[in-house]
Structure 1
């Protein structure tokens, strides 16, 4: 599979990618290799990865607890302390081996430690392969507010080996599929149609196409001043729902993809109300997403808290919530203003 060249780094695929990593380590002559994992990737992915790492450099493994709830500054401080104790220096390399939490947090940790050390992303979930590990966004949550603390910082390279998908649950595969649906609705409807009809679902091809789309967008707009905002479709309402379920003692947590899937239905409804997005396509999106993810109960008493979380969305300007909406498939409009009443109506439509 052909390497994709991102802004300042390559995205390598499958077994060949490990040769490129070994070459990087040799050329840059790193002092120590640190590998950031959680308990799941330490057990299931590290044993697959380490035989492919050809180096005589010192290797240290740093483990954090899994889950979005641990994607915070406290965890970062713990990792920074361990790096310090293990005498990491500016010639150290941090390899992130895991899902979106690991790649987001690990990139942020590396970018801030001693004003920046090199890092390499090795995503092990579908979500992190098609989204989190590519594009240069790093960061952590502030309380339940998603990705409030972070910066744009590019890795030295990204290695995508879909063999790691054998280690994740079907639920995690569905979570990543939501981001592929997003690329389909906003940029390449063929992706959505393949998932809708569940035909020819060659996962490596879907991953490659998704990364290619994201890279095309990011190359044109690295810092999200315009086009890159389309990658937020479904995320404005979706992030608020994800955060609400994360902080609520009476709700089971949603995966990122499950929340974004709900957000895409809601934002397609808003698109139909404001931009005349075709009603038959709204119905098609809802039926397809519900067939994959089922329905999550969002009660009327949940609405005020979700609306309140919307107000803290990092994309807001002057207190105004900004949405990416659709005129049609592959035809988007940026920076749309949406009333709270319409957001509530969109959640009611999802519930109906």
Structure 2
């Protein structure tokens, strides 16, 4: 796959990625190399990565617990402390080897340690390949509130190797697929039609196209002032649902993609009410989502808690919940205000 140039860093694929990584490590005067993993990537991805890593730098591995529940400042404290105890200095470099949690948290840790050390993203899940590793967003959750603490910071490079997808479950592949669907419905009709006609596509073939789309959007709007907001489609309600399931002791945690899939159905319904998004397309979209993710049970008694979480969404402005909505495929409306009863109606539509 052809390399993609972001604003200040390259995105390389497979063998070229490993060669470029070797070059970066050799050409910079790094004092030491740290690799951030969780227990899953340590077991399943670290051996393959090390077999392809060629460097004379001293290497230390820092391992954290896996899962969104550990994407918090307490985990950051542990990583910062480990870096300090292992004598990391301002000339050290950190490689994040893992999924979205490792990429988001690791980038944040690197960008703030000693006011910033270099980092390199090596995503190992579909979600992190097509979304989290690209675009310069880093951060962690505050309690169950998604990505409340963070900053924009670019890696030195991103290395994408789809072979790591052999180590993840089908559920994780579906999770990442939600972001690809989002790119299609908001920005690329051809991609959307391709997925809609055949949801059993080899997703790895869509990785490069998805990264191209995200990079194209981010290059035009790196700090999310306007166009980049379309990448939040489905995430306003989706993040609230994800947070609710995360804090509930009775609920099994959702993957990010499962929650975003719910959010996209709800927000497409809202689009049909406010902006005349075609009703036939809405129904087809819902059917496609349900065919991939099934229907996640949400009780009407849970709406109040979900609505409370919506009010803490980081995209809000002056207490108003901001949505990205659609007139049609590829035709978006930004910073839309939606009445509470219509949000409730959208959840009812998802459940119906």
Q: 1:199: Cα distance to partner?
A: 6.8
Tell me the residue number matched to 2:73.
73
Which residue pairs with 1:111 in the alignment?
111
2:347 paired residue number: 347
Q: CA deviation at 1:212?
A: 0.2
Counterpart-to-counterpart distance in 2, 1:76 and 1:28: 26
Kindly state the Cα deviation for residue 2 of structure 1 after the two structures are TM-superposed: 1.1
Aligned residues between the structures: 352
Distance between the aligned counterparts of 2:190 and 2:123, measured in 1? 24
Q: Distance in 1 between matches of 2:191 and 2:298?
A: 28
The answer as to whether partners of 2:199 and 2:292 remain within 8 angstroms in 1 is no
Q: Is the 8 A contact 2:189 2:330 kept in 1?
A: yes
1:256 to 2:256 alignment: yes
Partner secondary structure for residue 320 of structure 2: coil
Aligned to 1:314: 314
Q: Secondary structure at the match of 1:191?
A: helix
Report SS of the residue matched to 2:149. strand
Structure 2, unaligned runs of 5 or more: none
CA RMSD of aligned residues (A): 0.8
- 5+ residue gaps, structure 1: none
Indicate if the aligned counterparts of 1:194 and 1:200 stay in contact, CA closer than 8 A: no
TM-score by length of 2: 0.99
1:197 aligns with 2:197: yes
Q: Provide the C-alpha distance between the structure 2 equivalents of 1:211 and 1:148, rounded to a whole number of angstroms.
A: 24
Aligned residue for 2:327, secondary structure, equals strand
1:92-131 alignment runs, 5 A limit: 92-131=92-131
Cα distance, 1:193 vs. partner? Answer: 2.0
Alignment of 1:209-288 (within 5 A): 209-288=209-288
What is the TM-score with the length of structure 1 in the denominator? 0.99
**Segment drifting more, 254-263 vs 25-34:** 25-34
**Contact 1:240-1:309 at 8 Å conserved across structures:** yes
Q: Is the 8 A contact 1:126 1:172 kept in 2?
A: yes
In structure 1, the residue corresponding to 2:36 is in which secondary structure?
A: strand
Q: Is the 8 A contact 1:139 1:148 kept in 2?
A: yes
Which runs of at least 4 in structure 1 moved beyond 3 Å after TM superposition? none
